A and B are shown apart, each in its own frame.
Chain A
Amino acid sequence: MNFGPFIFVGLFFTMSLSWLGFVLGPQLQLGSLTQTATVPGGETYPNSRPGLARKGAEIYRANGCAACHTQQVRPRELGSDLDRPLWGIRRSVAHDYVFDEPVMLGSTRIGPDLANVALRLDPNTMVHLYAPRAIEPNSVMPPYRFLFQKRKIAREPSADALKLPEKFAPEAGYEIVPTSDARALVGYLSSLRQTGIIFETPMPQPKIKQPQAAVAPAEANPGTPAPAK
Chain B
Amino acid sequence: MLFLFGSAIVWLVIGTALAFIASLKFHAPGFLADSPIWTYGRVYAARTDALLYGFAIQAALGVSLWLLCRLGRTTLTDPRVCLTAAAIWNFGVMVGIGGILGGDSTGYEAFEMPRYAAPVLFVAYLVIAVCAIITFHKREERALYPSQWFILGGVFWFAWIFSTASALLLCSPVRGVLQSTISWWFAHNLETIVLGFAGLASISYFISKLLERPLHSSYLAMLGFWGLTLFGSWGGIPQGAPLPAWIISLSVVGTVMSAVPILAIMTNFCQTARKDLNALDNNAILRFSYVALIFWFIASVQKIIGALPKVSTLTDYTYFGVAQKELALFGFFAMAMFGAIYYIAPQLVGHEFPCDKSPKIHFWFTFIGVTISYLALVISGIGQGIILSDPKNPFVAALKASMLGVRVRTLGDLLILLGQLALLLNFLGLVAQGCCKAFCGKQKEVRK
Q: Is the CB of A141 within 8 A of B164?
A: no
Q: Is the CB of B318 within 8 A of A97?
A: no
Which B residues fall within an 8 A CB radius of A? 25-26, 29-30, 33-36, 39-42, 44-45, 103-109, 112, 136-137, 142-144, 149, 152-153, 156-157, 160, 164, 168-169, 173-182, 185, 189, 193, 218, 222, 226, 229-230, 233-234, 237-244, 247, 250-251, 254, 309, 312-313, 316-319, 321-322, 384, 388-391, 394-396, 399-400, 403, 406
Q: In the docked arrangement, what's the CA distance between A66 and B41, Å?
A: 8
Q: How far is the CB of B205 from chain A (nearest CB, A)?
A: 16
Please name the residue on chain B nearest to A136 by beta carbon. B396
Q: Is the CB of B33 within 8 A of A142?
A: yes
B242 / chain A contacts, CB cutoff of 8 Å: 72, 91-94, 96-97, 105
In chain A, positions 31-52 with a C-beta closer than 8 Å to chain B are: 31-33
Q: Is the CB of B103 within 8 A of A63?
A: yes
Q: Is the CB of B180 within 8 A of A103?
A: yes
Q: In the docked arrangement, what's the CA distance between A229 and B388, Å?
A: 13
- Kindly supply a per-residue 1/0 record for chain A positions 192-214, scoring 1 wherever the CB is within 8 Å of any chain B CB and 0 otherwise: 00000000000000000000000
Q: Is the CB of A98 within 8 A of B313?
A: no
A79 / chain B contacts, CB cutoff of 8 Å: 240, 313, 316, 389
Q: How far is the CB of A165 from chain B (nearest CB, A)?
A: 15
B104 / chain A contacts, CB cutoff of 8 Å: 62
Contact of A78 among B160, B218, B309 (CB under 8 A): B309
Q: How far is the CB of B116 from chain A (nearest CB, A)?
A: 15
Q: How far is the CB of A152 from chain B (nearest CB, A)?
A: 19
In chain A, positions 1-58 with a C-beta closer than 8 Å to chain B are: 1-2, 4, 7-8, 10-12, 14-15, 17-19, 21-23, 25-27, 29-33
- Kindly supply a per-residue 1/0 record for chain A positions 98-116, scoring 1 wherever the CB is within 8 Å of any chain B CB and 0 otherwise: 1111111111111111000
A1 / chain B contacts, CB cutoff of 8 Å: 144, 149, 218, 222
Contacts A102-B107, A139-B29; A112 near B34 (Cβ below 8 A): no
11 additional A-B residue pairs with CB within 8 Å, beyond A2-B142, A32-B175, A108-B318: A14-B229, A22-B234, A61-B105, A78-B240, A79-B313, A80-B389, A94-B176, A97-B177, A102-B169, A138-B396, A229-B395
Which A residues fall within an 8 A CB radius of B? 1-2, 4, 7-8, 10-12, 14-15, 17-19, 21-23, 25-27, 29-33, 61-68, 70, 72-75, 78-81, 83-85, 91-113, 132-133, 136, 138-146, 229
Q: Is the CB of A18 within 8 A of B175?
A: no
Pull 23 A–B residue pairs with CB atoms less than 8 Å apart, ordered by A: A2-B143, A4-B137, A14-B233, A21-B247, A26-B243, A30-B243, A31-B178, A33-B176, A61-B107, A64-B41, A64-B45, A66-B109, A68-B40, A78-B313, A84-B395, A94-B244, A97-B180, A101-B173, A101-B179, A102-B106, A108-B319, A140-B25, A146-B36
Q: Is the CB of A143 within 8 A of B29?
A: yes
Most buried by B among A17, A106, A108, A112: A108
Q: How far is the CB of A76 from chain B (nearest CB, A)?
A: 10
Q: Is the CB of A19 within 8 A of B164?
A: yes
